[in-house]
Every structure is written in C-alpha cells, then in structure tokens.
Amino acid sequence: MTNLNNASDLESLYGPLYKFSDAKRGDTIRFRDSEFGIIEGVVLWVIGPGPIAATDMPAYYIVDAKGDFPETVFPSDVIASRPGDEPTLQKCPYCNGLHPAGQVKSCPLNPNKRGGDGLPLTSRNNSHPDENRWDEELYDEIEQAESDN
C-alpha cells in the first residue's frame, strides 16, 4: 500500500516531483472543485507537464483534501496558495469568467466601467468610428444637420 506521506512511494506512483510550480509539496491550497465548491487541502505531489493518453497535460497537483482519494488539481483551479491569502481569481458577475482579484471592475462587460475621461463606457456610441463621442453629441449633430437642410 502507498503511504501518501512517503516521498519515495509517491515518486514511484506519480513520477519525479516537479519543482517549477507555484505551490510546493506540503503547501495548503484552496481550490475549486466541480462537486464540492471551494475546498482546502495539502499538496502531496506536483506532477510536471507531459503527455498522458496522447494528450499534452500541464503541470498539476495531487492534493489531500481529507477525502477517500487524493484530488487532482490544476493550477487554474487554485484560488489561494495559503489559508488567509487573497484569492488569485474572482468570478466576474458581468462575463461569468474569472479575473485577477480586485480587477473585476475592469471587465470590458462591466456596465459601470469608466473610460479615461471618467465617463461611463456604456453611454458611448460604439457603432460610430469615434468611440469616445457621446450619444447626445451625435444626436445634436444630426438634429443640426437636419435643420440646416
């Protein structure tokens, strides 16, 4: 039986320990799990990138999350490297994607996002070649042109 705390047992099971990763063996990480949501566990082993069943795989972690079996966790699923760390990614309510922590307000789909002039981007007429012009200005120009004719 494999002892999950014995490095030689883990190396014979998973291959050599990959040294170039954000989280190292023994680190506690928080990560997204498709079944249980956000959970926490200890990195048992780091597997380097390489082919698995004819598919190139990135580096990933084997994590003890106090379940029956160790979890396979990809770096993209890691929320924080240590308990108490700020999350590295946050879910965006505007695009339903993930953004770096504290940068959700910069999402291009944020209706409250402001341009360099401090004005909301959503009030701009994006179909006009000059995207920095206000709708009101365009309507005024149209009305002026119509009254001139």
By residue range, what is the domain housing residue 11? 7-82
Inside any domain, residue 108: no
Give residue-wise pLDDT tens across range 102-129: 777 888 888 877 665 555 555 544 544 4
Inside any domain, residue 52: yes
Name the residue type at position 6.
Answer: N
**121 and 73 inside one domain:** no
**24 and 69 inside one domain:** yes
Q: What is the pTM of this model?
A: 0.54
Residue 36, C-beta contacts closer than 8 angstroms, at least 6 positions apart: none
> At 66, is the pLDDT very low, low, confident or very high (cuts 50, 70, 90)?
confident
Inside any domain, residue 95: no
As a whole-number percent, the residues of the chain with pLDDT over 70 amount to 70
Residue 46 predicted with pLDDT over 90: yes
Question: Domain ends where: 82, 105, 124?
Answer: 82
Rounded Cα distance, 101 and 92, in Å: 10
Question: Domain ends where: 62, 82, 102?
Answer: 82
* Total domains in the fold of the chain: 2
Residue that the structure tokens 């012009």 belong to? 133
Rounded Cα distance, 95 and 98, in Å: 8
